[in-house]
Structure formats: structure tokens, C-alpha cells
Amino acid sequence: MSTEHFEVRALGGPTAVFEYGGLRFLTDPTFDEPRDYDRGGRVLSKTAPSAGRPADLGRVDVVLLSHDEHPDNLDLSGRALLADVPLTLTTTGGAERLGQNAKGLANWEAIQLNDGAITVTGVPAIHGPGTREEVEPFTGQVVGFVLTGEGLPTVYVSGDNASLVAVQEIADKFAPIDTAILFAGAPRIPAVFDGAALVLDSTQAAEAARLLDATRVVPVHYNSWAHFTEGRDELVAAFTAAGLADRLDLGLPR
């Protein structure tokens, strides 16, 4: 394990970019301008533009896509971007839908990149309250990622996960984590699971940081969408209450 702190730039919503082990990674690409998306009568509203555009990113080697089925994780611009990226790692079902350069990772399945310098392991994520069997029929399959390599920091990208049980399973195998990119924001849709949070709320994100023994937490997926019910202030308050404020990195440009 290395305690090296590389820059993670949060671009809004679930999208962040970072360089690791000689490759450039992008999480859940969302670059559309603010607009509404009709999801079979349920409307998701993007409320703010991204802090960057695809043309500004430069080279992207790998997209870490937690799932392809929701526009707040993969929008129209993000979907178009995938054609220009050599590799997209995502769910097994998502890889079948996307084709192109997509590779699905099952839970605990690993792939080696950059001549074996980097290992990316698919890890559990549950997109709502309950077990995978209870949740996936309604919100779909999601995957998280752990990045490791000799002499490199251990990085966890949670994807849209609401389960601290899943976090504990990941911690059991990989903790301590150097950098945890945690999807948060407590998104809620009244008609889905009676309005329960579909991804970690701020208090749960702080608990996840504790379980992972994370040196640094970069939160994403807490702004730019109307159904995200907790933002920056709630995250800062929760990490402060947990005595973990010094581990919180908002991923802003340095």
C-alpha cells in the first residue's frame, strides 16, 4: 500500500477524473447541459452543468462505469464519449448492452491493465435499501471498483451503492483504503422504495469511511441533480460529527 495522494478532480454528479499507475480514469461520465430525462413517467432533472467538457479532458484510457441504465450516471454526452475510450469497465449486463469496448466485471472479478501494473477488481454495490435480490429488479445491477498495484495507493470507487454491508465486505478484503471515491447525495424518488435513499446518505458515507479506514474520501454524486437530497453542507457536517473532517477532499481544482 502507498499513501500517495494523487489528484482527483470532481466534475459534478458522479463524474470524476484521475490519473493512476500511468492511466487516466473517468468515472460515470455525465456531461449534458441541465435538462429533464423522462424515465417512464418519472422525471430526473439535471440542475447544473458539468465543471468540464469531454473536449477538455484530454486522453481518457479507462471509464469506470458503475451502471449504464440511469442518465444521472451515463447521459447522452457520456454515452457518446465511450466510443472514443479504449476500455469501459462496467456491469456484466451493461457490457452486453454497450458492446464496443465495454468489459463487464462480476463481483470480485479482476482485470489487469497497463501490462499488469494495475489490477481493477469489481466489487459489490447495491442501488437501494435491502439485499441485491430485493433491489436489482427495480434499480438494476451496479458494480464498484477497487484499484491496486505494486507501490500504488489502494483506491475504491463505490458506484451507486447504498449498502454498508457491501462496504464491510470490501473493507474485509482491501482495507485500509488510501482514497475512497464515494457516491453519496442520498438520492430519493418517492415512488421507489417509499422514498428511501438509493445511494449512501452523508452519515452513511462517513461510516463507510470509518469501515474502510480510508485516508482520504472524495465524495461525488451529491450535486447537479434535483433528486439528490443531501449536498456539500450535509457531507461536511457528517464527517465533522464523525471526527473525520480531515479526511474529506471535495475534489476541487488545486
| pLDDT for 3 beyond 50 | no
Backbone angles phi, psi at 193, to 5 degrees: 50, 40
CA distance 225 to 220: 12
Is residue 54 scored above 60 in pLDDT? yes
Instruction: Give CATH for domain 8-247.
Output: 3.60.15.10
103 in helix, strand or coil? strand
The pLDDT value given to residue 237: 98
The answer to whether 64 touches 41, Cβ cutoff 8 Å, is no
**Tell me: the pLDDT tens digits for 5-26?**
799 999 999 999 999 999 999 9
Does pLDDT of 77 surpass 60? yes
pLDDT tens, residue by residue, 138-186:
988 999 999 999 999 999 999 999 999 999 999 999 999 999 999 999 9
pLDDT bracket for residue 4 (50, 70, 90): low
Task: Read off the pLDDT of residues 113-132 as tens digits, 9 standing for 90 and up.
Answer: 999 999 999 999 999 999 99
Non-local (6+) Cβ contacts of 114 within 8 A are: 21, 22, 23
Q: Which residue has the cell 430485493?
A: 134
Helices and strands (H and E) in the chain: how many: 6, 14
- Say if residue 250's pLDDT is above 80: yes
Residue 251 pLDDT:
86
In the prediction, which pLDDT does 56 show? 87
